[in-house]
Structure 1
Amino acid sequence: MLALEIANYIIFKHKLTTYKHSLGMEVMTYENLIGWHGTTKIRQKSISSEFFNFNSYIFGKENQRQPNDLGNGIYFYLPFFNDKGNIIAQQYVRKYKNKELISNKTSVCLVKANIKYLKEKSLDLNNEDNVAFLEGISKLFEKELLEEMKNIRDDGAKQRAQQQADNKGLLIELVYQLYEKEHPEKKFDVVIKDTYTDIPHLKCDDKGNNGKEIAVRKLDLIEIIPKEE
C-alpha cells in the first residue's frame, strides 16, 4: 500500500517536538502541568476507587464512539488567560452533561491532577509543523478515513464532527496506531491544543480559543491531587 509506505517515511522523519542536544546526547525534557477534569459526583467516586480509564479506538470495529477532538484519552483543562482551568471544566459539565446531572440527581465535581510527561512524547497541536504533519497524513488516508466513518456510531459526537467538517480525533487515532505499529519509540503520550468550548462568557484569544486542553493517553502520568479539607 503506497499510502502506508509514504506515511511510514513521514512518521520516521517527523519529530513531535524539537530535541535538545548536550554533548551529542538527546536531553529529555519533563513538563509538569496542573489540569482540571470536569465530571459528576457519581463518576468522581468511581475515579477515586478505580482510577481513570478509557477505551482504545480499534479501526474496523463497528459501533464505536467518534473520537474526541484530541483523540481518545482522559481530558483535562489547563490554565488559559485568567482561568486556571477549573472554571471552564465546571461550565463544560453544566452545559454538556446537564441531562446526566438531572437524571442521576447528582452534581458537578472537579478532579484536580498533576500531569508529568516528556515534552518529546507530546503531540502539541499549537505547533504549525505538527498541524502540517497531520494534514499530510490526512490527505494520504482520505479514503480510508471516510470509509472508517461508516463504522462509527451515529450519535451527537459523530454529527458534530460531520457538521464542523473536522475529523481530527479520528485522524489522531490513525496516526497513533501508525506509530504503534511501525515506530513505537515515537508514540505520543499526550495531545495538547488551545481549543474553543461553547461557553460565551469566557474570554477568547485572537484565534477564537477560550481554553487549553490536554488528552492523556498514558494514565500513569496522572497524579490526582486530593481535595484540601
Structure 2
Amino acid sequence: MFLITANGRKVAISHPRRAALLEGVHDHLRRRAGFRMATVNLDHMVQIGSDDSFAAAYAQHDIIVADGRPIRWLSQLAGDPVELMPGSDMIVPLAEVARDTGRPIALIGSTEAVLGGAEAYLRKRVPGLEVAYSHAPAMGFDPSGAPAAEVLGALEESGAGLCFLALGAPKQERLAARGAALAPSVGLVSIGAGLDFLAGHQRRAPHLMRALALEWLWRAMTNPARLVPRYARCAAILPGLALRAWKAR
C-alpha cells in the first residue's frame, strides 16, 4: 500500500487499481453500505500537513485514490506504482456502477445551472441512470453547520446510493466525513470541479496537454491569481515527498 506523508501525517492509497476501485464500489452499493472516497493530490497533502480538521476528515475516508501525476510519479519512485484516477474522470464509470446495481445517484455542489447541465449529460451518457437528489448550497456553506446536516439528512432520505460532491477541498471532504453519521447508506465521492466540466461551465485542458502532464499549466493560465500560489506551495513540498518515496523503495 503506497503511503504519502506530509508533516508527519500519512495518507494511504487504498485502491491502486481502477478495476479494484470499481469492484469495491459495486460491492458497497450492492450491500447498501455507505463509504467516503477522496482523490488525493499534492494540494490535499499541503492542506493535510497544515490543517488539523482536514487531516481528521481525510482519516475518515474509506477509499483514497491517486489524483495528479505527481502522486503517480511518487508511487513509481517508491516502487509501488498506482493508477491515476482523477475525480473528474471517474464520474461516468462510477455512475455506470450505480446504474448497474440499481442505485440512484445524487449531485451536491456548484450551482443549479451546473447541476442541471451535469444531470442532463449523465442521463444521456449513462442510459437508465436515476438522479434522486440534487442540491446547490448557498455561498458560505459550512460543512459543520446546521444547513449541512439538513442536506445530509435529505440525501439519506432520497434513497441515493452514490453522491458526487463538487464543493472543492476541504469542504467536500469534511462534508463526506460528516456523512458517515448522517448519511450512512450513501457513498460520498469528492470530485472537485468535475460537474462543472460535465456541464461545460469549465473547460478542461486539451487532451494533448493532459497527455503531456501539463494540465496544471493550463489551469494556472486560466486562473493565475488563485492557482499559481497553490502550485508554488505544492512544488515546495515535492522534494521532501520524493526523498521519502525514494527511501521507501
TM-score scaled to structure 1, two decimals? 0.28
Larger Rg: 1
Answer 1 or 2: higher relative contact order, Cα 8 Å, separation at least 6: 1
Higher helix share: 2
Higher strand share: 1
TM-score scaled to structure 2, two decimals? 0.26
